[in-house]
Amino acid sequence: MERLVKYLGRVDYEPTWRAMQAFTDARTRDTQDEIWLLEHPPVYTLGLAGKEEHLLCATDIPVVKIDRGGQVTYHGPGQLVAYLLVDFKRMGIGVRELVTRIENAVIDLMAEFGVSANGDRDAPGVYVDGAKIAALGLRIKNGAVYHGLSLNVDMDLTPFNWINPCGYANLKVTQMKDVGAPVTVEEAARRLLPHLERHLTVMKSKETA
């Protein structure tokens, strides 16, 4: 079953999150998977296990407590967000495998620019020379996944200095522009999509081999 891809532009965080919840609650075994590609205005999101102590100082940036895994992260203009609304049961793989596949999509994108990137089994996300370039946060409900990944493309990274990104003190953060991959968010979305599509397509023969 092909996935429906939606390019939503710059949209507010909370209505988009609520739309993901509604989509997931309403889906059936025959519901088509969707990928939403977008940007958000400045916002901090605090995951289910999120500790407010990781918000290091008061700012004018709103904080939204949400239902994904993980700690605190920042979304803002110039960052590509990809929400993956997929039937997890239909994929027939484990959570760690899903995380790895999403990370590998970003790693493959960076390789197009000659940039070496890697995942970290102990701290999900994608890193370039030890600095985080993409964050992951997922929620699985009734066998379906929502939330997804954020990829720093060409943005003001300053708000990351006001938090412990993903709960890690002194974690360095980077973006595509600063590692030799200068593209717009729109181009990053266009180039990331085929990698996501490929890695989210489970080859049954390989899974059962």
Residues that constitute the known binding site for substrate = 68-75, 135-137, 148-150
Which residues pair with residue 138 across a beta bridge?
147
From the annotation, which residues make up the binding site? 68-75, 135-137, 148-150
Task: Identify the DSSP state of 55.
Answer: B
Q: What number of CA atoms fall less than 13 Å from residue 106's CA on the CB side?
A: 29
The single residue of 85, 128, 153, 166 carrying the catalytic annotation is: 166
Annotated catalytic residue 57:
no
Question: What is the side-by-side strand order in the sheet with 34-39?
Answer: 4-10, 34-39, 79-87, 144-152, 131-141, 126-128, 118-119
CB 83 within 8 A of CB 16: yes
CB 101 within 8 A of CB 200: yes
Which residues carry out catalysis?
166
